[in-house]
Chain A
Amino acid sequence: MSHSHSYTDLLRLNAWIRKNADTWHFHCATRTVQESKLFPVPAYMVVSYLQAFYRYPPLLRRLAARMSPEAIGDRLRETSTKGSIISLSCVPEFYLAGRQTLIELGLMRATDALDDLVFVQDFAERVNLAYHRNHAHVLPSDCNLRAQLLPERRLQVFEADAIGMRAGDRLHTALKRFMATANQYVLLSHCESRLGIWNHGPYRCRANEEMLVRGFADLGECDLPWLDGIAAEVSHNNLTLPTIVKDTHFHIVDDWASFEATPAFAHDNVVAVGLYTSDFLSEGEIPVAMDNAATLAEFLAHENEILGRATRELWKRMAGWSRDQMIDAGAMVYAAVAKDFFHVAGDYRPDDWFTIDACAQAVKPLLNDEYARDFLAELLGYISLPAQQGSSYNMNKWFDGQGDMWTPVPYAVLDGDEYTSSSGPLRGGWTSLEPKRGPYLTTRGKLDLEAYNAAAAGFTPASCAPRFRYLDDAWVRDHADSALADELYRLDQRGSRHLDGRGAGVTRDELDALRAAGDVAATPPPASSGDIGFLAVHGLAVKKSGSAAEVAALMGADVAAIEQALDAAVAAGHAVAGAGKHVVSPAGRAWLDAAYPVVCAAYRAEPGFAEAYERFEVVNRQLLALMTRWQSRDIGGATVANDHADRAYDARVIDELGALHERAEPILQRFGDFEARLAVYFELLDAAYDRVLDGDGDYMSGVRVPSYHTLWFEMHEDLLRLLGRTREP
Chain B
Amino acid sequence: MSSHRPARKWARPPQSRTVAFYHRRVAELFAARVAASGKSWAAAVWDGALALTAADYQALEDELLASGLRFQMSAGISLVEAPEKYEQVAAVDDLDDVEPDADGRRLAGHGDNVFHVTADVVGTARFIKSVDVVMDMLTHGVPPDTVAIIDDSGGTLTAPILEGFTAVVCKGGSVRSHLGILTREYQIPCLMNAEVRGLAEGDRVQVEYSVAARPPYEEAGGAGRARVWKLAAEDGA
Q: A: which residues have CB within 8 A of B?
A: 35-42, 104-109, 112-113, 321-323, 326, 359, 361-366, 368-371, 373-375, 377-378, 382, 384-387, 389-392, 402, 418-420, 422-424, 544-545, 576, 578, 583, 585-586, 589, 624-625, 627-629, 631-632, 634, 637-641, 701-703, 709, 713, 717, 727, 729
Indicate whether A40 sits within 8 Å of B12 (C-beta atoms), given known contacts A322-B81, A418-B42, A420-B45. Answer: no
Indicate whether A322 sits within 8 Å of B61 (C-beta atoms), given known contacts A374-B19, A391-B10, A586-B131. Answer: no
**Cβ-defined contact, A364 with B54, below 8 A:** yes
Q: Which residue of A lies closest to B76 (CB)?
A: A37
Q: Give which listed residue, B13, B28, B57, B78, contacts A40 with CB less than 8 A.
A: B78
Task: Please measure, in the bound complex, the distance between the C-alpha atom of A392 and the C-alpha atom of B155, giving whole angstroms.
Answer: 66
Additional A-B contact list (13), CB under 8 Å, known A375-B19, A378-B19? A40-B78, A106-B31, A112-B45, A323-B75, A368-B71, A369-B73, A373-B72, A424-B46, A578-B139, A589-B131, A628-B176, A634-B215, A717-B156
* Min CB–CB distance B18 → chain A (angstroms): 4
* Min CB–CB distance A301 → chain B (angstroms): 10
28 cross-chain CB contacts under 8 A: A106-B27, A106-B31, A107-B26, A107-B27, A107-B52, A322-B81, A362-B57, A365-B58, A365-B61, A366-B22, A374-B15, A389-B8, A392-B10, A418-B41, A419-B42, A423-B46, A545-B160, A624-B176, A624-B177, A624-B181, A625-B217, A628-B176, A632-B216, A641-B115, A703-B185, A703-B186, A713-B178, A727-B178
**Cβ-defined contact, A703 with B182, below 8 A:** yes
* Min CB–CB distance B178 → chain A (angstroms): 6
Q: Which residues of chain A have C-beta atoms less than 8 A from B110's C-beta?
A: none
| Cβ-based interface call for B124 (8 A) | no
Q: Which residue of B lies closest to A112 (CB)?
A: B45
Indicate whether A729 sits within 8 Å of B172 (C-beta atoms), given known contacts A322-B77, A640-B213, A701-B185. Answer: yes
| Cβ-based interface call for B36 (8 A) | no
Indicate whether A638 sits within 8 Å of B212 (C-beta atoms), given known contacts A40-B77, A377-B16, A631-B185. Answer: yes
* Min CB–CB distance B104 → chain A (angstroms): 21
Q: Which residues of chain A have C-beta atoms less than 8 A from B225's C-beta?
A: none
Q: Which residues of chain A have C-beta atoms less than 8 A from B26's C-beta?
A: 105-107, 366
Q: Which residues of chain B have C-beta atoms less than 8 A from A634's C-beta?
A: 215
**Cβ-defined contact, B185 with A702, below 8 A:** yes
Q: Which residues of chain B have C-beta atoms less than 8 A from A390's C-beta?
A: 10
| Cβ-based interface call for B116 (8 A) | yes
**Cβ-defined contact, B61 with A368, below 8 A:** yes
**Cβ-defined contact, B159 with A42, below 8 A:** no
The interface size of chain B toward A, counting residues with CB under 8 Å, comes to 79
| Cβ-based interface call for B14 (8 A) | yes
Task: Please measure, in the bound complex, the distance between the C-alpha atom of A316 and the C-alpha atom of B175, giving whole angstroms.
Answer: 41
One digit per residue, 1 when the CB lies within 8 angstroms of any chain A CB and 0 when it does not, for chain B 1-35 equals 00001101111111111110011001110110000
* Min CB–CB distance B51 → chain A (angstroms): 7
| Cβ-based interface call for B85 (8 A) | yes
Q: Which residue of B lies closest to A387 (CB)?
A: B8
**Cβ-defined contact, B75 with A366, below 8 A:** no
Task: Please measure, in the bound complex, the distance between the C-alpha atom of A702 and the C-alpha atom of B214, giving whole angstroms.
Answer: 21
Q: Which residues of chain B have C-beta atoms less than 8 A from A709's C-beta?
A: 181
Task: Please measure, in the bound complex, the distance between the C-alpha atom of A483 and the C-alpha atom of B167, giving whole angstroms.
Answer: 71
* Min CB–CB distance B61 → chain A (angstroms): 5
**Cβ-defined contact, A402 with B30, below 8 A:** no
Task: Please measure, in the bound complex, the distance between the C-alpha atom of A636 and the C-alpha atom of B138, giving whole angstroms.
Answer: 42
| Cβ-based interface call for B180 (8 A) | yes
Q: Which residues of chain B have C-beta atoms less than 8 A from A424's C-beta?
A: 46, 48
Q: Which residue of A lies closest to B78 (CB)?
A: A369
| Cβ-based interface call for B233 (8 A) | no
**Cβ-defined contact, B42 with A729, below 8 A:** no
**Cβ-defined contact, A323 with B42, below 8 A:** no
Q: Which residues of chain B have C-beta atoms less than 8 A from A368's C-beta?
A: 18, 61, 71, 78, 85-86
Task: Please measure, in the bound complex, the distance between the C-alpha atom of A420 and the C-alpha atom of B72, giving whole angstroms.
Answer: 38
Q: Give which listed residue, B40, B81, B186, contacts A323 with CB less than 8 A.
A: B81
Q: Which residues of chain B have C-beta atoms less than 8 A from A37's C-beta?
A: 74-76
* Min CB–CB distance B92 → chain A (angstroms): 8
Q: B: which residues have CB within 8 A of A?
A: 5-6, 8-19, 22-23, 26-28, 30-31, 40-42, 45-46, 48, 51-54, 57-58, 60-61, 71-78, 81-82, 85-86, 115-116, 131-132, 135, 138-139, 153-156, 159-160, 172-178, 180-182, 184-186, 212-217
Q: Give which listed residue, A39, A326, A387, contacts B11 with CB less than 8 A.
A: A387
**Cβ-defined contact, A420 with B22, below 8 A:** no
**Cβ-defined contact, B12 with A386, below 8 A:** yes
* Min CB–CB distance A711 → chain B (angstroms): 13
**Cβ-defined contact, B116 with A389, below 8 A:** no
**Cβ-defined contact, B160 with A583, below 8 A:** yes
Q: Which residues of chain B have C-beta atoms less than 8 A from A35's C-beta?
A: 74
* Min CB–CB distance B111 → chain A (angstroms): 14
**Cβ-defined contact, A384 with B57, below 8 A:** no
Q: Which residues of chain B have C-beta atoms less than 8 A from A639's C-beta?
A: 115-116, 212-216
Q: Which residues of chain B have C-beta atoms less than 8 A from A402's C-beta?
A: 10
Q: Which residue of A lies closest to B214 (CB)?
A: A639
* Min CB–CB distance A451 → chain B (angstroms): 37
5 closest residue pairs by CB, A with B: A106-B27, A386-B11, A374-B16, A639-B213, A544-B159
Q: Which residue of B lies closest to A629 (CB)?
A: B216
Q: Which residues of chain B have C-beta atoms less than 8 A from A637's C-beta?
A: 215
Task: Please measure, in the bound complex, the distance between the C-alpha atom of A120 and the C-alpha atom of B6, giving whole angstroms.
Answer: 27
* Min CB–CB distance B196 → chain A (angstroms): 17
Q: Which residues of chain B have C-beta atoms less than 8 A from A105's C-beta?
A: 22-23, 26-27, 30
**Cβ-defined contact, B19 with A729, below 8 A:** no
Task: Please measure, in the bound complex, the distance between the C-alpha atom of A3 and the C-alpha atom of B23, giving whole angstroms.
Answer: 29
* Min CB–CB distance A617 → chain B (angstroms): 14
**Cβ-defined contact, A378 with B213, below 8 A:** no
Task: Please measure, in the bound complex, the distance between the C-alpha atom of A419 and the C-alpha atom of B214, giving whole angstroms.
Answer: 83
Task: Please measure, in the bound complex, the distance between the C-alpha atom of A516 and the C-alpha atom of B51, giving whole angstroms.
Answer: 67
**Cβ-defined contact, B212 with A365, below 8 A:** no
Q: Which residues of chain A have C-beta atoms less than 8 A from B42's C-beta?
A: 112, 418-420
Q: Which residues of chain B have C-beta atoms less than 8 A from A366's C-beta?
A: 22, 26, 57, 60-61
Q: Which residues of chain A have C-beta atoms less than 8 A from B51's C-beta?
A: 359, 362
* Min CB–CB distance B225 → chain A (angstroms): 13
Indicate whether A365 sits within 8 Å of B41 (C-beta atoms), given known contacts A634-B215, A639-B212. Answer: no
Q: Which residues of chain A have C-beta atoms less than 8 A from B40's C-beta?
A: 418
Indicate whether A40 sits within 8 Å of B85 (C-beta atoms), given known contacts A105-B23, A624-B176. Answer: no
Task: Please measure, in the bound complex, the distance between the C-alpha atom of A107 and the C-alpha atom of B41, giving whole angstroms.
Answer: 10
Task: Please measure, in the bound complex, the distance between the C-alpha atom of A374 and the C-alpha atom of B22, giving whole angstroms.
Answer: 12
Indicate whether A586 sits within 8 Å of B75 (C-beta atoms), given known contacts A105-B27, A632-B213. Answer: no
**Cβ-defined contact, B81 with A42, below 8 A:** no
Task: Please measure, in the bound complex, the distance between the C-alpha atom of A629 and the C-alpha atom of B213, giving whole angstroms.
Answer: 13
Q: Which residues of chain B have C-beta atoms less than 8 A from A387's C-beta?
A: 8, 11
**Cβ-defined contact, A370 with B72, below 8 A:** yes
Q: Give which listed residue, B22, B86, B115, B182, contacts A632 with CB less than 8 A.
A: B115
Q: Which residues of chain A have C-beta atoms less than 8 A from B13's C-beta?
A: 386
* Min CB–CB distance B28 → chain A (angstroms): 8
Q: Give which listed residue, A40, A583, A586, A702, contacts B74 with CB less than 8 A.
A: A40
Q: Which residues of chain A have C-beta atoms less than 8 A from B155's C-beta?
A: 713
**Cβ-defined contact, A641 with B86, below 8 A:** no
Task: Please measure, in the bound complex, the distance between the C-alpha atom of A373 and the C-alpha atom of B18, giving whole angstroms.
Answer: 10
Q: Which residues of chain B have C-beta atoms less than 8 A from A629's C-beta?
A: 216
Task: Please measure, in the bound complex, the distance between the C-alpha atom of A581 and the C-alpha atom of B19, giving whole angstroms.
Answer: 63
* Min CB–CB distance B232 → chain A (angstroms): 18
Q: Give which listed residue, A41, A108, A363, A371, contacts B45 with CB less than 8 A.
A: A108
Q: Which residue of B lies closest to A403 (CB)?
A: B10
Q: Which residues of chain A have C-beta atoms less than 8 A from B22's C-beta?
A: 105, 366, 371
Q: Which residues of chain A have C-beta atoms less than 8 A from B175's C-beta?
A: 628
* Min CB–CB distance B137 → chain A (angstroms): 12
Task: Please measure, in the bound complex, the distance between the C-alpha atom of A42 and the C-alpha atom of B153, giving whole angstroms.
Answer: 45
Q: Which residues of chain A have C-beta atoms less than 8 A from B159's C-beta?
A: 544-545
Q: Which residues of chain A have C-beta atoms less than 8 A from B86's C-beta?
A: 368-369
Q: Which residues of chain B have C-beta atoms less than 8 A from A109's C-beta?
A: 6, 41, 45
* Min CB–CB distance A319 → chain B (angstroms): 9
